[in-house]
Amino acid sequence: MRVRTARGAWTLAGGAAALTLLTATGAAHAEGKGDIRVTAAVVNGGKSVTIGTTQRVTYPIALTVRDDSGVKGVSHLSVFNTSDGLGFGDWTGTTCVKKSSTTSVCTATITVAPQWLPDSLPEDANHTAGVWQVNATVKANDGDYWIADHVAEFTVKRAAKLTTDASPEPVAKGAKLTVTGRLTRANWEDLKYHGFTGQSVKLQFRAAGAAHYRTVTTARTGDAGRLAAKVTAGSAGSWRWYFPGTTTTARVVSAGDAVALE
């Protein structure tokens, strides 16, 4: 099911997002009657929402609402990309918890299933990854209402996968070790993972018995997102690739590949 947003963009049943918080003072546009206001907004606990190709994603949008007469609830809520006004989000309900006679925290739930995304928007759904915003309309017990089209700002990201393989195993101390891998990310149009080329990825090592990984070198993904680096094996331990992510693609760390010395 698709629902037309207040801005005239299409939003699809299924949501996504989360990151930056804005208060009512940061709203780009607001109108209404009386003194009711959204004084704070938190999307997904302040974390980015990552969408892959199969798993349904559900996240909260917590709005702190204040009015002298008390808060009645949220009558409208939508989410979409700030740059093109397109988005996908199924608003599945809201629960308000009274904190005082004037203030309540109303938490809305947004859901997205990747299966809804192919052909859901008038352009490539992947283009909607990035910074999104929340629109909300809140109402008070005395009939006051407030309509705002930018109560919160957040980030929607495409999921990523990363692999690591080190060889030979075992390896002689001081010999060369080749560590390969592949970085892929979710495509919301065909619901498959495709190679992510031209990205800087860190090769990290954790010596046997050590608590943390350290970065040894950096490589850039080539064709189909493939990675390769040659290093000198100084001690036994685990190797992994680490991708810090981008504004549209989630951070990902591969599983470690343990290599023993001969």
- pLDDT score, position 29: 58
Per domain, the residue ranges of the chain are: 2-157, 160-259
Q: Identify the DSSP state of 125.
A: G
Which CATH number, 4.10.830, 2.70.50, 1.10.10, 1.10.287, labels domain 2-157? 2.70.50
Per-residue tokens: 139? 């109402």
The CATH code belonging to domain 160-259 is 2.60.40.10
Are 205 and 196 contacting, i.e. CB atoms less than 8 angstroms apart?
Answer: no
Residue 65 burial (10 A CB sphere; 0-12, 13-18, 19+): buried
Mean pLDDT within 57-82: 97
pLDDT tens-digit map of 184-217: 999 999 999 999 999 999 999 999 999 999 999 9
For 176-200, give one letter per residue: b (16+ CB within 10 A) or e: ebebbbbbbbbbbeeeebeebeebe
d(CA 211, CA 91): 43
Are 16 and 153 contacting, i.e. CB atoms less than 8 angstroms apart?
Answer: no
d(CA 46, CA 128): 19
d(CA 125, CA 230): 38
pLDDT tens-digit map of 204-252: 999 999 999 999 999 999 999 999 999 999 999 999 999 999 999 999 9
The overall average pLDDT reported for the chain is 89
Residue with tokens 């290093």: 231
pLDDT tens-digit map of 140-176: 999 999 998 899 999 999 999 999 999 999 999 999 9
41 vs 12, more confident: 41
| CB contact set of 145 (below 8 Å; sequence gap of 6+) | 32, 33, 34, 36, 75, 137, 138, 139
Residue 14 has pLDDT above 90, yes or no: no
Per-residue tokens: 169? 């195993």
